[in-house]
Structure 1
């Protein structure tokens, strides 16, 4: 009987492998300091009014002079500023508590490197390398790590992330992410924006009237064009440009989940 049970277990594992089973993907650790921001950038944040940002924003190591279009009002404590376009605080390296931003920027870079270093996974027996030649619009993605050495495009319709509340999705590209106008990133099955990570070596451009979901970890610039929106966060190692955009911060939990074992896709 024991030998039979072992045989059945082996068969089950083989079937799982054929179906593209993989160890559960761990979320990218943002860190407590970086996790305090909806937008964090190194060289500037600009807006064409009126944008709406729900959450704190900051620049470092550049000064507050690189935060433009927000009509900042410095708080009497000199530790932050406010803006009618920001539901939260605006921070910069030249404010009196700017030293904490050094930690935040370091954590932002570490998060980028973490996401970039993840191994590509397989789904339903298909290797997630350059899926669809880079065009993922009109598709549904399940939990996994998707790797591209071409531009990632959301131009052929809406993109859906399907999974439960703990499933993690990582999109890696050495190129750009370009989302066409009037398209949306959609969540289904309980999937959450805070568990979607976009690791982008070049530029992220979300065109007019489009909606994006997830945490953007970008080495270069991020642009949200007129009427576009994001449910997530933006971490840019250069600049962030908003044009009458809406950015809404998602939650961040420091605790990392443990592995849940093999799952059949």
Structure 2
């Protein structure tokens, strides 16, 4: 049994499935300075599930990187999974040394295929559907009601361990130090971010307890920047651009309604 003394702070994240005892001690006083005569305690059990369902990516989930305006790369990166660009054409995919084939292209930096809107059918129609599904997924994530955590850390979440749930911020979210996501393989995280999402250099996101990157969704209205040599886990649904700085890596998907910019990165589908 865990014991919390004095007061439960709003930003304290409790472990799931545990019994806690909260105690208000007799050093608490009223406005006149009178102390509480006796301690007051109560016990409660934290839940084990958030009830969140995953965000359905639809056809956008067929791509590890999907963008609308450009995919730019400063070689050499390593991408595992398919990439797609629409409605922009192949010329807006740069830095991969593409070799054209019928309906797709290949690259020595991509373990998978590369698609763009000007490629032969059915690639163009498949990409149109994928982009539509990406926007639907973004709106789904943004519209989930009743957050479990609102304005946690006023957006500064470095050093925190985050349990599964729905998180909401109306400002920018920063990660200046390592972040841990702790939960089971069935748990779901959805982060609703109205501002930017900034991850500092050399910061790592770590998953524990069986948590899966495919069940972690970050809906970001602003810019996303993953710092130099940082490591990221999860799916990014960005209304604006996504930039991975030099040497950053990720296990997840980059789904942007504008551009994705890479610089000697490793991107692996979950």
TM-score (norm 1): 0.83
Correspondence for 1:111: 137
1:82 is the counterpart of 2:100:
no
Tell me the matched-pair count.
227
Correspondence for 1:142: 163
- Quick one: distance in 2 between partners of 1:23 and 1:62? 39
1:24 is the counterpart of 2:51:
yes
**RMSD over equivalenced CA pairs, Å:** 1.5
Task: Give the number of the structure with larger relative contact order, counting CA–CA contacts within 8 Å between residues 6 or more apart.
Answer: 1
- 2:55 alignment partner, SS class: coil
- Quick one: distance in 2 between partners of 1:22 and 1:129? 18
| Runs of 5+ unmatched residues, structure 2 | 1-42
- Quick one: distance in 2 between partners of 1:104 and 1:169? 22
Higher helix share: 1
In structure 2, the CA distance between the partners of 1:175 and 1:119, relative to structure 1 (3 Å rule), is same
- Quick one: distance in 2 between partners of 1:120 and 1:186? 26
CA contact (8 A) 1:52 1:86 kept: yes
Q: For 1:91, which of 115, 123, 131 is the aligned residue?
A: 115
| Runs of 5+ unmatched residues, structure 1 | 1-14, 123-127, 251-265
Correspondence for 2:36: none
Return the offset for 1:100. 1.1
CA contact (8 A) 2:70 2:260 kept: yes
- 2:150 alignment partner, SS class: coil
Correspondence for 1:65: 91
- Quick one: distance in 2 between partners of 1:93 and 1:185? 33
In structure 2, the CA distance between the partners of 1:22 and 1:187, relative to structure 1 (3 Å rule), is closer
1:101 is the counterpart of 2:122:
no
- Quick one: distance in 1 between partners of 2:132 and 2:83? 16
Return the offset for 1:119. 1.8
CA contact (8 A) 2:167 2:192 kept: yes
> Which of these two proteins has the greater Rg computed from alpha carbons?
2
Return the offset for 1:34. 1.2
1:45 is the counterpart of 2:66:
no
CA contact (8 A) 1:120 1:147 kept: no
Deviation >2 Å, runs of 4+: 18-23
- Quick one: distance in 2 between partners of 1:72 and 1:120? 45
